[in-house]
Amino acid sequence: QCRGTAPTSSSDCYGSPGFRGIEETASGPAVPAVPAFTYPGQQNAFDATPDGPANWQDNVTRQDGTGEVTIQLFTKRESASLGCDATSPCSVVVVPNYGRPQGATEDQIDAPWAWERRTVVPLDFLPVDDACPLVGSSLRVEGSPFAGHALASWRARTCTLASDAVRVDYTSIGEPQTRADVATGITDVGLLIDPVDGDAGAARGLTYAPMAVTGLVVAFQIDDADGKPVSDLKLTPRLVAKLITGSYRSGGNPAVINNPVNIFRDPDFRAVNPGVAWPGGAPGNHPLLLGDLSDSTLALTRWIEADKDARDFLAGKPDPYGMTVNANYKGVALPFAGFPLLDPLMSETFEPIQELDTLSRQLSIARFPGATVTQEGGINIVTKPPRQNPGRREVIGIIDAASAARFRLSTASLLNASGAFVKPDNAGLLAGVEHADVNADGVTRSVDLTDKDPAVYPLTLLIAGAFSTQADKDERQEMADLLSYVVGAGQVNGEQVGQLPEGYAPLPKDLVAQAQKARTAILAGATEEPTEEPSPSSTPTPTDPSGAPPGGGGGVPLAPAGAATGSTPDAGSEPSDAPSATPGTLDPTMLTVGSTPAEGRMMLLPFLGILALLMLLAGPALLWLSQTGRGPQWLRS
């Protein structure tokens, strides 16, 4: 990627190493040197990658000279030294391999004879500067990283609207932590896949609104034995179970010693993916997995749990070809929210990656997870796996559909209950939303993994906003304004600012209606309905504010293993889509409050004064402990 639309030297190209030149000889003239990438403020003439690794790619053309390659484009945010934006255009330059034997996959791209035969592709960029005003209030939103690409597009538009503008301050964190923050009042808006526990949600006056339909995908960059990219891949729950348990042979690990060396040599894999010259592959071929607690991992492991062949395999039964589960994972409890690391011999190669964006970027550059540690002169040297060049790629990772689309990654077709293999396109995602088990709140849902409709993509995810109707009036107006945009112009697929990025399917009409209903409830706010005075001896039943489900009811536990799969509504609770007095409206959440007899209030005043002082002192400390992760476990869950 080069500066300007007509670069005259490779010195304008990010990461260009330069050309040292050739001295004059009796048989030929001198060839002048070409500096490495140059940029304002450069301190070291040899530092060609001041903003991180270069994004240039080697690739092999076909016999007819054609070919394709995917590269990551940098804006000035990724590379300030290159500085590409709406007012400073850049270009992609294709430089042919020249002067080397046939079959060479790289050459000195800065050599003048190669640069002279370049092809320049000018690039235009959308605005990348923050267009939102830095004055006034902003709506604080936190939650699912799976909504990140959509929020990035929406918030850049909502703050510049001529009317009903709203500035959104979005923090991407895992859904389990978001549930806890919503339940305890740290945030009034949370983006979730699974809901907050029913009791905690009622205490906060939560109403749910559908916001985005997306999916969890198995993305890959794989080249066949001839170096050609593979675009179609089919996976069953059992094959994915093998990947996430590290069940392919790696070294002399006794837990997997008799298994195939990688997925490409697995007869189970080849049976559903015939007709491809699969590569030999690296031992283990470990997938790239998310290292955070996530509802998406729960969705993945629910899909695996719903398949008998996968359950039998994890329980220890060999597959039809004799392969068995990694002995350290035999009998692992499903579903779980975080990938457990149970095999100590794979600690350097089977290593989930924290943060969805980091995971997606590593998959986009085709690099295995993990790192090896060696000692040189008593110093630990950490070596990460090298980036794989086109023609020799073999990486598989589990990420979101929007990131896969952003990085132009191929995605696997997954087996559903009907026996069909379905891709995560809009049709598959919308079928997954339609054929879903709806939770007691009437909005949040998960795919019905027993449904026999052949169109269903089994890892469809509905991102819902959990809005507290107890927020103040101004904040509730901002919530309503955001929802109005999200379920309107924000549901149009496209690449412009404010549109719905690729990897998301537009909300169907019934979900748009639910969002509009939630908007009405948000504007109405929570109301209080006093009840009869309780007797002085009565004691209210405490509720768990963390959002973790008690017993078998509601929500999703934060612990990764043995998580409950179902949600049971509390007795007497009503779903949020219950019929209302007028179409398109929702009765506001009714909160019940009690009163205390006057005599009791007078006797309790001294005690309450002391208690209030203690709470005033302890409150900030408890909040700090919960946010920093210090302190006892109950504060961190």
* The two structure tokens encoding residue 149: 């690409």
Q: Minimal CA–CA distance to 11: which of 29, 30, 38, 47?
A: 38
Query: What 3-state class would DSSP assign to 155?
Result: helix
Contacts of 355 (CB under 8 A, 6+ apart): 145, 291, 292
Give yes or no for a contact between 586 and 526, defined as CB atoms under 8 angstroms apart.
Answer: no
The answer to whether residue 354 scores a pLDDT higher than 50 is yes
Amino acid 266: pLDDT? 97
Please compute the mean of the pLDDT values over residues 277-282 and round it to a whole number: 91
Cβ neighbours of residue 405 under 8 Å, at least 6 residues apart?
501, 502, 503
Report d(CA 25, CA 81) in Å as an integer: 37
User: Would you state the pLDDT for residue 532?
Assistant: 39
For residue 399, the model assigns a pLDDT of 98
Residue 438: which H helix or E strand, with range?
Answer: strand 436-438
Whether pLDDT at 535 is above 60? no
- Read off the pLDDT band of 196 (50, 70, 90): very high
Give the orientation angle of helix 473-486 with respect to helix 148-158, to 10 degrees. Answer: 110
Q: List, in sequence order, every residue forming a beta bridge with 467; answer none if it has no partner.
A: 189, 207
Over residues 16-34, the mean pLDDT reads 85
What's the pLDDT score for residue 593?
27
Q: Return the SS3 of 257.
A: coil
Query: Over 50: is that where the pLDDT of 541 sits?
Result: no
What confidence tens digit (pLDDT) does each residue in 474-501 have? 999 999 999 999 999 999 999 999 999 9
Confidence of residue 528 (pLDDT cuts 50, 70, 90): low
Which pTM does this prediction carry?
Answer: 0.77
Distances in Å between the Cα of 351 and the Cα atoms of 291, 346, 372, 376 are 8, 8, 11, 24
d(CA 338, CA 342): 12
Least confident of 2-6, 11-15, 25-29, 255-259: 25-29
Percent of the chain whose predicted confidence (pLDDT) is above 90: 61
Burial state string for 365-374 with b = 16 or more CB within 10 A and e = fewer than 16: bbbbbbeeee
pLDDT at 152: 93
Which of 55, 50, 26 lies closest to 37, judged by CA? 50
Torsion of CA 41, 45, 46, 49, to 10 degrees: 20
Does residue 26 carry a pLDDT above 70? Answer: yes
CA distance 422 to 534: 57
- Residue 585 in tokens: 């409206």
**pLDDT tens digits, residue range 424-459?**
999 999 999 999 999 999 999 999 999 999 999 999
Identify whether the C-beta of residue 60 lies closer than 8 Å to the C-beta of residue 228: no
Task: Quote the radius of gyration of the chain (alpha carbons, Å).
Answer: 28
Give pLDDT, residue 108: 55
Distance CA 84, CA 388 (A): 26
Range ranked top by mean pLDDT from 350-364, 382-396, 534-548: 350-364
Mind giving me the DSSP string for 456-514? --TTEEEEEEEEETTS-HHHHHHHHHHHHHHTTGGGSBSSSTTSB-TT-BPPPHHHHHH
Q: What is the pLDDT of residues 198-248, one digit of tens each?
A: 899 999 999 999 999 999 999 999 999 998 899 999 999 999 999 999 999
How many Cβ atoms sit within 10 Å of the Cβ of residue 442? 18
What six digits make up the tokens of 471?
A: 């927020």
Average pLDDT over every residue of 250-266: 93
Contacts of 489 (CB under 8 A, 6+ apart): 157, 498, 499
Whether 149 has a pLDDT exceeding 90, the answer reads: yes
Of all helices (H) and strands (E), which one includes residue 315?
A: helix 308-315
Over 80: is that where the pLDDT of 553 sits? no
User: pLDDT higher for 536 or 432?
Assistant: 432
Q: Which residue shows structure tokens 């030294």?
A: 81
Q: Which helix (H) or strand (E) holds 619?
A: helix 598-628
Q: Say what percent of the chain tops pLDDT 70.
A: 80
- Which pLDDT does position 99 carry in this prediction? 52
Asked if residue 335 has a cis previous peptide bond (ω within 30° of 0), the answer is yes
Cα dihedral value 447, 452, 453, 457, nearest 10:
40
pLDDT at residue 284 tops 80: no
CB 353 within 8 A of CB 290: yes
| Rounded CA separation 518/510 (Å) | 13
Q: Please give the mean pLDDT across all residues of the chain.
A: 82
Structure-block tokens of residue 430: 């919308």
Q: 309-313, 345-349, 399-403: lowest mean pLDDT where?
A: 345-349
Q: Are 334 and 314 in contact (CB under 8 A)?
A: yes
* Confidence bin at 30 (pLDDT 50/70/90): confident
Cα distances (Å, whole numbers) of residue 200 to 178, 211, 595: 13, 22, 21
**Long-range contacts from 626-633, C-beta under 8 angstroms, 24+ separation:** 626/180, 626/184, 626/186, 627/186
**Alpha helices per DSSP H over 173-246:** 175-184, 198-203, 237-244
DSSP state of 631: S
Which pLDDT score is estimated for 347?
A: 80
pLDDT of residue 252: 85
pLDDT at 401: 98
Contact (Cβ atoms closer than 8 angstroms) between residue 105 and residue 96: no
Quote the CA–CA distance of 157 and 405 in Å, as a whole number: 21
pLDDT number for residue 100? 53
